[in-house]
Structure 1
């Protein structure tokens, strides 16, 4: 086994959680080259991995929105780069039509993808010469590790290895001080995943009482308004300036605690081994959650709004206190 291509083009949290596949492959096949195909919007995230050998990218998302000739030319040029090497195996761990096209265009006689019932888009099935086995009853992230192992004939071992190294950005998200910093990631891609402003305010005030400085990142004007509303509830909280993806990742790395909803940057916090609490309101904690003993935990049943008390218990847990017992144990247990 000399060279393998992983195809996973979006999105931020999914790509971050898929990166341990590289460490698994290189453990199983010392000396193997592992390339990764991603959307241009997320290529910098793959570059954070110290184990990936080549990152291939094209402006797929941007072209879909703007239909610009320059983006189409960039996509055409990326195909040449994609076909520069012949791969021993191509592993599509996303399973949608655009990832299947990438797998099909790359040079390999072995292209592995999900079974039809597990595909994100059934039309993707045309590209594969082999299929993963039945999707195992584990989280999506562990499932990707298992599927890649099935494709290449090994079993993943141990905890996921992210091995990230963030590039210098030349900016400082906040001035260093004596107090530990807690970042509250309130923004989400969908309104039904939001946690109420008053809940964030209560958690922020509790963390302030415990000696934390509270910072509030945002990415859009609406998210900034929400951050300002939370800051009004939390005396001393700081609404951060708008930052790039890498700048936010570096900000996370400077924090002592991250609390956030089911969103990509909270997965980044988990991968950077920060103390992390992820709140699920409308999505599956069992499928998309995070867990690391006394460091990362997911709360919520995905069907209702978790109470503030559950978030506080989770914060206690990632700071070394035992997991809740009795009636509260189920609701505060991660994946």
Structure 2
């Protein structure tokens, strides 16, 4: 097999956890060229993986909401680029209409996709000439690797290798100049995935007593207001300015600890092998959690909001405080980078 296209369109966490497929395929098919098709919003993340030869992207999400002519032209151009080469195989590990259309439009000898029972949208089945199943009772990320391995005749016998190389910042971010810090990813796409504000404040205060300053990122005005409210109850907390995906990734690499809900950036932190605690309240920890002993751990579960003590115990399993804790210095504030 000489050339493969992987189709995983969204979202950040899913795309991050699909990255080990690149290493798996390269180890089992030496010399294979691997392309990846995704929404333009996540193209930058894919370019952090040097094992991907060509990133194919289009503003599908934005076009769906805005219907702009410029985005339509970019989608048309991306189709032309998609069909410029012929693939030995296309692997759709998304399983919805938009990913199936990409797989169908690609010039390929074989198009692999999930069996009908495992598809996110049943109608996507039209695009595939060969099918594979999701392993039952497996973590979604482990199951993904196993599914593709079974389809292509190889076994999974190594830990996941994500291969992501984050570009270094031109200068050390201001937040990193104030000593060790933890990033608290409090924001989520759904309210039922949130952890209570008071819990964040108690955890952040405990971390500060152990020498870690709390940094609070945000992506919308509502999240900014929430970050400010949380920071009011944590000594010396910092509310970050609005950062790009790359800037957040760079902060993650510089952090001593990451604590957050089941969101893409926390999955990215685990993939980068940073000390990570993922908090679950409304989704399945067994299916979507991270688990790298001594590095990344998940706590809570669907319908089971973890206590501050449970999260603190999880923190203790992945991070140890310095011998001498640094005392709080100032009240909560905002910074610029």
Bucket of the pairwise TM-score, normalised by the shorter protein: over 0.9
Counterpart check, 1:223 vs 2:219 = no
Q: Distance in 2 between matches of 1:204 and 1:152?
A: 46
Structure 1 position 134, deviation (Å): 4.6
Q: Distance in 2 between matches of 1:112 and 1:135?
A: 16
2:328 corresponds in structure 1 to none
2:330 corresponds in structure 1 to none
Q: Distance in 1 between matches of 2:62 and 2:84?
A: 24
Deviating more after overlay: 197-206 vs 127-136 = 127-136
Counterpart check, 1:200 vs 2:188 = no
Runs of 4+ in structure 1 over 4 Å off: none
Q: Distance in 2 between matches of 1:134 and 1:188?
A: 27
Contact 2:257 2:319 in 1 (8 A): no
Deviating more after overlay: 165-174 vs 296-305 = 165-174
* Distance change >3 Å, CA 320–CA 210, structure 1 → 2: closer
1:183-204 deviations in Å (ceiling 9; x for gaps)? 0000000000000000000000
Contact 1:294 1:320 in 2 (8 A): no
* Distance change >3 Å, CA 320–CA 240, structure 1 → 2: closer
2:234 corresponds in structure 1 to 234
List gaps (5 residues or longer) in structure 1. Answer: 322-335
Q: Distance in 2 between matches of 1:159 and 1:226?
A: 37
Q: Secondary structure at the match of 1:192?
A: helix
Q: Distance in 1 between matches of 2:176 and 2:284?
A: 36
2:324 corresponds in structure 1 to none
2:294 corresponds in structure 1 to 294
Deviating more after overlay: 165-174 vs 92-101 = 165-174
Contact 1:91 1:151 in 2 (8 A): no
Counterpart check, 1:179 vs 2:179 = yes
Q: Distance in 2 between matches of 1:192 and 1:132?
A: 33
Q: Distance in 1 between matches of 2:67 and 2:135?
A: 36
1:161 corresponds in structure 2 to 161
Q: Secondary structure at the match of 1:189?
A: coil
Q: Distance in 2 between matches of 1:120 and 1:262?
A: 20
List gaps (5 residues or longer) in structure 2. Answer: 322-337
1:4 corresponds in structure 2 to 4
Q: Distance in 2 between matches of 1:40 and 1:213?
A: 34
Q: Distance in 2 between matches of 1:48 and 1:24?
A: 17
Q: CA RMSD in A?
A: 1.4
TM-score (structure 1 length as normaliser): 0.93
Larger relative contact order (Cα-Cα within 8 Å, sequence gap ≥ 6):
2
Q: Distance in 1 between matches of 2:134 and 2:182?
A: 40
Contact 2:134 2:144 in 1 (8 A): no
Q: Distance in 2 between matches of 1:210 and 1:76?
A: 54
Structure 1 position 175, deviation (Å): 4.0
TM-score (structure 2 length as normaliser): 0.93
